[in-house]
Each structure stands twice: as C-alpha cells, then as structure tokens.
C-alpha cells in the first residue's frame, strides 16, 4: 500500500461557494481538502487519491491578471508537491473555462504532472487549451455533474497510473491534435474494398474517418414570375480582372470580388480572365462567359425572359476554399443580395 | 455559398459538374454543368451547337428557380 496520490483541485468563486459575481475579483487562495464539486471528485477518484488542497480564484482576477495569478497559484502549491492537477469542470462558463485551461497548462508544465479539466464544447477555453491539457467534454451546465466529473476522474486516474486509453476514453476529451502512427494487418486498399462491399451488401461498417455533417437548408420559395425577377450572378470559377490586380488567389481563397456588370452585355476577355487552380483556365480566359453566362443572360433580359440582371457580379475562386471562408462569403453576399432585392441567383461552379 | 444565400430566402441554382458533391453538401437546386472547365458552354463544338447547349443549361437553371421544392433536386 503506497501513499495516496496527491491532487490539487482548482475552483472559481462560484463553485468554491464563496460567492457570485461580487467575489469574481478574489485573488488566489488555498484551502485544505476538497470543496463543493471536489467532494464528488474525490469520491470518484477513489481511495488511493486525496484532494489535499483546493485553490480558489475569482474569474475576473484570473482573466484580468492571468500571468500574475498563475504565478500566485504556483507559489501556493509548490511546497505541496502535487501528483495531479484538476481544474473545474467549467461547463460553459466563459471566464472559468480559460482560467481552468491556462492553469492546467501552466501547472502541468511547471510541475510535470498530469492536468485535467472539463468544459462544454462551446467554451472558448476548450478550443484555446485542448492541445495543452486533457479537457473532458462536459455538458453545458452542472445538470449532469456526476457523469462529467466521472469522466474527468477516469482520464485523470489513467494518466497517473499509466493505463492505456480505450477508444471510449479518447472520445471523452477534446482532440489534442496528435497523430499516432500504427500498423494494421490489411493495407488501405483492401480495407477500402472490404468497406465498400459491406456498404453495398447493406451490412454494418465502421468508417475510419468521420465525415463532417452538413446541415440541410430548407429550399427557398420558387420565383413566381421570372419575367419580373431580378437575377444575380455569382461564381466560384475565379473570375477576376485581366492581370488579376485584385490578387484573387487560385487556391484557398480568402476573399470574393465584386464587379459592376450593369453596363456590360458580356464578359469581355479584354477586361476579364480567371484564376482558379482547380481546372484548366484556357477556355475560360478566352471566353469568360463559359463561366459566367452574362451574354446569354443579357439576351434573356432583352427578350423579357427575366426581369433584370443584378448589377453586381460576385466572384471567388472555389478551389480548396475553407468551409469557414466560403460560409462567410455566402453570408455576406446573401445579405447584400437581400438588401438589393434580388429574387434569385444563378451560381456557377467549376 | 449557395446554402447561405438560400438561408436568407433567395433561391439559388447551382450549376456544377460534380453534382454528387453539391448533393452531399446539401445544396437545393442543382443543375448539371457541361464540364468542369466550361460549365456553361462547350468551346470544342461548333458555335450553333454550343449555343443550344448553353441555352439548355441556363434554361434548366432558371426553371429550377421557378420550381417549388421541399427537397433537393438535380436537373
């Protein structure tokens, strides 16, 4: 029977029960033993572990004086020689999360001990510190505290006792960004074909890579009278001015460009070109109307098939564009089109 | 981008070649383009034939905008 594993637990002013917002400027102090959620944590860690002390700090003090507050925490715990540091859980608390994160990272590194915290996925602290500590995924409030603390205790124990994580363990905390190479018996090609056969035979299969889930959008109402409709042209084909003075990149576009096409009958190759690394630009450079059919649309407008063409052409280069950027472009363009009373959009993609 | 515009209530026809991508990502009114380097045209054929091809794609995309739908369509 060895000595118990010495645990230091960190709590903010609220969870340590010293008060609410009015106590948020409290400087770090230390109390012997466990407080509040620490009692549950101690229970779930088990007999071989002991929360020897609880460090408390107000969320505002930590947020406004982070470097100093971290040093003050170091000073409080240095002589205690902890084996394990646990912070929170912070759930969705926006100051408490980063406080737990910064301390987990700092204490873990300074004392060379495992550091574990718990946060909800939208807590900014999760994204900020997931690579620097083990941050368990929790619910957004203390409603399911027991389950969340149990997951934290599980990871903490395995870290201290050097027990290999199961797949379930690894799924319980935010990815830290490490890649681990491993050898498997079957080469990728064989595994891919096996998976495809299982899929075709409608047998269950397990994907090796999770695909992102794309949200469905309710289709907008149809245009009732096309002959009165204002139609806008948008493209991801990479249309830019000749010579590309706008600096539209051919890949991983970080912006979109707007062109005033209100006086144009077509896109002239003396005025426009394309820059898009995802396809052979030769034909498009010769005739940009293959990408944005302004010539044909103008003809429809003259014939009365459509009401009018919106005076602005929106263009970007849709080659390896990040989801975040393309969503942002879409949101901004959507607002502009809405403000300009556009009824429908023809978007050309390459 | 198409989905973001659709979200604000403006119908969008997306003309693209690899339609399964648009379908997977969740675009609603999808129209098959001629080819990747020339979605609305075909410089490899005679001009009169090309005109017909171009008209066909564009008519389909306008028609999609005029079609009331509750789920994604690919023309």
| DSSP string computed for A11-78 | E-TTTTTS-SGGGTTPPPEEEES--THHHHHHHHH-TTEEEEEEEE--HHHHHHTHHHHHHHHHHHHG
Q: Which chain A residue's Cα is nearest to B40?
A: A290
Chain B residues lying within 8 Å of A287, measured CB to CB: 41, 43
> Of chain A residues 210-249, which have a CB less than 8 A from chain B?
214-224, 226, 229, 231, 234, 236-237
Q: Is the pLDDT of residue B52 over 70?
A: yes
- Report the pLDDT value the prediction gives residue B36, as an integer from 0 to 100: 82
pLDDT tens per residue across span A167-222: 999 999 999 988 778 888 999 999 999 999 999 999 999 888 877 677 889 999 99
Q: Is the pLDDT of residue B5 over 90?
A: yes
Domain map (residue ranges) of chain B: 2-74
Instruction: Give chain A's length.
Output: 350
Cα A281 to Cα A273: distance, rounded to the nearest angstrom? 9
Q: Is the pLDDT of residue A233 over 80?
A: yes
- A275-294 mean pLDDT: 91
What proportion of chain A, given as a percentage, has pLDDT over 70? 99
A147: left (phi over 0), alpha (psi -120 to 50) or beta: alpha
- A251-280 mean pLDDT: 91
What proportions of chain B, in percent to the nearest 5, are helix, strand and coil? 45, 15, 45
Chain B residues lying within 8 Å of A335, measured CB to CB: 8
Q: Is the pLDDT of residue A255 over 60?
A: yes
Cα A325 to Cα A10: distance, rounded to the nearest angstrom? 38
CA torsion angle A265 A271 A273 A275 (round to 10) = -120
> What single-letter DSSP state applies at residue A219?
P
Domain map (residue ranges) of chain A: 5-171, 226-348
Cα A198 to Cα A102: distance, rounded to the nearest angstrom? 46
- Tell me the nearest-neighbour CA distance from A145 into chain B, angstroms: 36
A56, β-bridge pairs: A11, A29
Provide ipTM, 2 decimals. Answer: 0.94
Mutate to test the interface with A, among B5, B11, B53, B56 (most CBs of A within 10 A): B5
The overall pTM is greater than 0.90: no
Look at strands B12-16 and A344-348 and give their pairing: parallel
> Of chain A residues 252-291, which have a CB less than 8 A from chain B?
278-284, 286-287, 289-291
- Report the pLDDT value the prediction gives residue A2, as an integer from 0 to 100: 66
Q: Is the pLDDT of residue A286 over 60?
A: yes
- Tell me the nearest-neighbour CA distance from A224 into chain B, angstroms: 6
CATH class of the structural domain A5-171: alpha beta
Q: Which chain B residue's Cα is nearest to A286?
A: B43
Ranges assigned E (strand) in chain A: 5-11, 29-32, 49-56, 84-91, 115-119, 134-137, 230-235, 239-241, 257-260, 272-274, 308-315, 344-348
Q: Is the pLDDT of residue A322 over 90?
A: no
């Amino acid at each position: 029977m060895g000595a118990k594993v010495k645990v230091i637990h960190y709590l903010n002013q609220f969870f340590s029960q010293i008060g609410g917002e009015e106590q948020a400027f409290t400087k770090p102090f230390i109390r012997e033993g466990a407080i509040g959620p620490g009692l549950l944590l101690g229970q779930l860690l088990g007999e071989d572990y002991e929360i020897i002390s609880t460090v408390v700090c107000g969320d505002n003090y930590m947020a406004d004086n982070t470097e100093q507050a971290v040093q003050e925490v170091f000073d409080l715990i240095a002589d205690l020689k902890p084996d394990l540091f646990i912070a929170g859980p912070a759930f969705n608390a926006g100051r408490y999360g980063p406080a737990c994160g910064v301390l987990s990272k700092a204490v873990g590194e300074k004392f060379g001990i495992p550091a574990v915290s718990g946060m909800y996925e939208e807590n900014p602290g999760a994204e900020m510190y997931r690579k620097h500590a083990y941050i368990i995924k929790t619910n957004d409030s203390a409603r399911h505290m027991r389950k969340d603390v149990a997951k934290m205790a599980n990871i903490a124990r395995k870290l201290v006792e050097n027990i290999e994580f199961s797949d379930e363990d690894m799924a319980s905390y935010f990815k830290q960004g490490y890649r681990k190479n491993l050898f498997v018996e079957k080469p990728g090609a064989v595994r891919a074909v096996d998976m495809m056969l299982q899929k075709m035979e409608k047998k269950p299969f397990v994907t090796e890579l999770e695909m992102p889930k794309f949200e469905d959008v309710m289709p907008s109402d149809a245009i009732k009278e096309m002959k009165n409709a204002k139609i806008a042209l948008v493209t991801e084909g990479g249309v830019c001015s000749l010579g590309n003075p706008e600096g539209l990149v051919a890949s991983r576009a970080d912006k979109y460009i707007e062109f005033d096409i209100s006086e144009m009958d077509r896109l002239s190759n003396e005025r426009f070109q394309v820059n898009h690394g995802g396809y052979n630009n030769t034909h498009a450079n010769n005739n940009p109307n293959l990408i944005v059919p302004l010539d044909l649309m103008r003809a429809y407008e003259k014939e009365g098939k459509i009401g009018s063409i919106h005076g602005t052409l929106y263009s970007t280069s849709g080659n390896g564009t990040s989801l975040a950027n393309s969503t942002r472009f879409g949101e901004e363009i959507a607002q502009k089109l809405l403000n300009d009373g556009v009824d429908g959009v023809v978007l050309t993609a390459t | 981008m198409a989905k973001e515009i659709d979200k604000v209530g403006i119908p969008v026809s997306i003309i693209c070649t690899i339609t399964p991508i648009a379908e997977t990502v969740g675009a609603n009114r999808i129209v098959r383009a001629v080819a990747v380097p020339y979605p609305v045209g075909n410089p490899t054929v005679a001009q009169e034939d090309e005109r017909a091809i171009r008209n066909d794609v564009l008519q389909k995309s306008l028609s999609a905008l005029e079609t009331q739908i509750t789920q994604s369509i690919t023309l």
